[in-house]
Amino acid sequence: MAARAGVSKSLVSLVMRAEPGASAETRRRVQEAADQLGYQPDSRARLLRSGRTRLLGVVFGIQHTFHADLVTELYAAARETGFELALSAVTPGRDEPEAINGLLQDRCEALLMVAPRSPVAALARLAARLPVVVLARGVRDAAVDVVRNADADGMHLAVDHLVRLGHSRIAHIDGGRAAGAADRRRGYRDAMGWNGLAASVRIVPGGLTEEDGAAAARALLDDLPTAVAVFNDRCATGVLDVLTRARVEVPAEISVIGYDDDRLARLSHLDLTTVAQDTAAMARLAVGRAIERAEGSPVGRRELVAPPRLVVRGTTGPCVSR
C-alpha cells in the first residue's frame, strides 16, 4: 500500500490509525490506495494488542428453532455496543464442552449460553475463568448470571386460557430434563390446582423434539384429554402430526398449546397457539449483563426474568364434550 500511495510505511500507519502527522493530500492518496487494494483494517488484531477482543461468545443448539430466534435477537442487541458475537454451535456430532472450548480459544470476554445442558458445577467452574450469562435456564450459583423467562407463569397462562375455553381434562406433555421443564411442570400443577382441577393433573413424559411430542401424543390416543399444554413448540409440532394422522380434529376434538412462539408456531399451516418468550428483551438483558461483567461494572440482581405472554392462534378452541 505504501508503494502504491508513494509514501512511507510509517505515514500509512498514521493514516490507518487516524492519528495526526499526515497531510490531507497524503491521507487522500493512502485512502485511495487502500480502496484500490480492497484493504480492510484488522480491528481484531489491534484489540488483541491492547489485551481486548470485544468478543461475546454464544453457545447454542443448532437444531433448536428457538435458539436460532434468540441468536438473531442477540445480534440486534449487540449491534450498537462495540462488541461482536462469536458463535459456537452444539450439534449431534459436537457437544457443549467442545463448543465452549472453541470460544475460549477465541479469547472471548464473556460467554452467552442458550439453555445449556452442562451441570451447575461445570458452569460455575467456567464462570471462574470469565463472565458467563445463561439464557433460558435457571442456575442456582451466584457466580453465574441468568436471563430467563418466567416459565411457571407462562404455563399458568396456558392452563388459564384452556380453562376459560371450558376445558377441565388438560394434560401436560413435559420437557423431561430440559432447561425450563421443571418450572413449566410446576406452573402446570399450580395452575390446575388454582383452577380447582388438582385431581385431573396428568403429566405425560415428553421432551424437546418432534419425535418426543409424537411419542407422547401416541400415548394419549387411547384416553384423549380435551386439551394439552406442551413443553415447547417443536414438541407440539410432533403432537399435531400424530393427531392429524389419527384423524383427530384440532381444535374441535382437542386443543393444543405450545411454548416459545418460535418460527414453527408462526407457520400458517400450523397456526399454533403458544406462550411467547420475549426474545428481544432477553437478548438485550443478556448482552447488557455480559458487557457489564466484561467491563467490570457493578451489577444488581444476578437473575433477570422476562415475563411471558399468551399468543392465541388456531389450535385452541372451546371444549366440546365427548
Query: pLDDT tens, 29-54?
Result: 667 766 665 666 544 444 444 457 89
Separation in Å, CA 109 to CA 88, 98, 106, 132, 294: 14, 18, 9, 9, 6
Are both 53-149+278-306 and 151-277 of the same fold? yes
- Spatial distance between the Cα atoms of 92 and 67, rounded to a whole number of angstroms: 15
The predicted structure's pLDDT at residue 315: 98
Which of 245, 207, 252, 200 minimizes the C-alpha distance to 223?
200
The predicted structure's pLDDT at residue 292: 95
Q: Which residues contact 13 (CB under 8 A, 6 or more apart)?
A: none
CATH class of the domain at 151-277:
alpha beta
Given phi > 0 = left and psi -120 to 50 = alpha, else beta, which region is 115? left
- Spatial distance between the Cα atoms of 56 and 286, rounded to a whole number of angstroms: 11
- Spatial distance between the Cα atoms of 146 and 133, rounded to a whole number of angstroms: 6
> DSSP state, 85?
E
Peptide bond into 251 cis (omega under 30): yes
Give the CATH architecture of domain 53-149+278-306. Answer: 3-Layer(aba) Sandwich (3.40)
In the numeric block, which cell numbers belong to residue 273?
397457539
The predicted structure's pLDDT at residue 31: 73
Q: What is the pTM of this model?
A: 0.81
Q: To the nearest whole percent, how much of the chain has pLDDT over 70?
A: 84
Domain boundaries, the chain: 2-41, 53-149+278-306, 151-277
In the numeric block, which cell numbers belong to residue 158?
396456558
User: From the DSSP assignment, how many helices (H) and strands (E) are in the chain?
Assistant: 12, 12
The predicted structure's pLDDT at residue 298: 86
> DSSP state, 277?
P
The predicted structure's pLDDT at residue 7: 57
Q: What is the mean pLDDT of residues 95-109?
A: 95
